[in-house]
Amino acid sequence: MTALLILGPFICVWAIAAIFYFMGRRRANQLRLAEISFSQSVQNRFTSMIMDRPKTWLSVKSRNSEDVARSMGLVDLQPCTSCKGLSEADPNQIFVSPPVNGWVVVFGEALPDPQLDIDNFFKFLSDMSERLGHVQYFHGNQGLGHHAWVKLIERQVVRAYVWIGETAWNQGSLTIAEKKSGMSAFDYFDDDGDDYRNWEIVRHNVEQLPLLASIWSIDPIVLFDMSVRVKPGWIGRFSIKRPKKN
């Protein structure tokens, strides 16, 4: 009993120290991944690595990838590492990443393309935001120059910009993140696709999209980090087939 009274305070101190140590390790890893996301967004946006990013993706504020997958209504769900999800998913499948810094990345060719139907595109994002809360959508087609970035919280559109050869959706003011990324937005009915200067703006927007994503939430390039690639996410498909993208 005497020994317990003597050793008790030391045990408590060691236990508290261990808790703070592991909390510090976890926070350090989160900061490292955030630095990877931001720095690689800057360093690699003009290199071939940008081609490895998905062309279209969602960022969902969540720490539970299974909950995201089920809330999206995906069926035939199977656990899948980021490594396999990045390389082996077929066109009809949707990959839901493991959570990274409080965000889950969702990508796959079955995600909606605003070029096909802007009204259905809006409805899809509104439905996803109603189910998931904070949802962000990013799309960049280097070949056509089409691009989009949308942020919704609880079905409320915070910011939306979609350019598909013309401005199809421009809602909300240009955000600080867009300004810091050097991005521009054409207004409705602007003569936005006829001269070289405007096409340079379009190209620049597509190239800066990962940087904007890293400021708003997370750049999918972080999924290539080895500490994330081995973690389990989920892969599934929508119960109703969506129109194919061009």
pLDDT tens-digit map of 71-114: 999 999 999 876 665 665 677 899 999 999 999 999 999 999 99
CA atoms of 160 and 168, how far apart (whole Å): 10
C-alpha to C-alpha distances, 45 to 74, 90, 115, 209, nearest whole angstrom? 31, 25, 24, 9
Cα–Cα distance list, 5 to 10, 16, 18 (Å): 10, 17, 21
243 pLDDT more than 80: no
Confidence of residue 60 (pLDDT cuts 50, 70, 90): very high
Sheet bearing 94-96, strands edge to edge:
74-81, 232-238, 94-96, 103-107, 56-61, 134-140, 147-153, 156-163, 167-171
Poorest-confidence range of 40-44, 61-65, 197-201, 230-234?
40-44
| Whether pLDDT at 51 is above 60 | no
Pick from 55, 111, 107: nearest CA to 80: 107
pLDDT digits (tens, 9 = 90+) for 24-47: 455 445 444 444 444 444 444 434
Most confident among 57-61, 183-187, 224-228, 230-234 (mean pLDDT): 57-61
Q: What is the reported pLDDT for 114?
A: 94
Count CA within 13 A, CB hemisphere, residue 76.
9
Check pLDDT > 70 for residue 2.
Answer: no
Per-residue pLDDT at 67: 96
Is the pLDDT reported for residue 68 higher than 80?
yes
Q: Looking at residues 137-158, what average pLDDT do you find?
A: 95
Q: Is the pLDDT of residue 229 over 90?
A: no
The stretch 50-62 carries a mean pLDDT of: 84
What average pLDDT does this structure show over 209-236?
A: 90
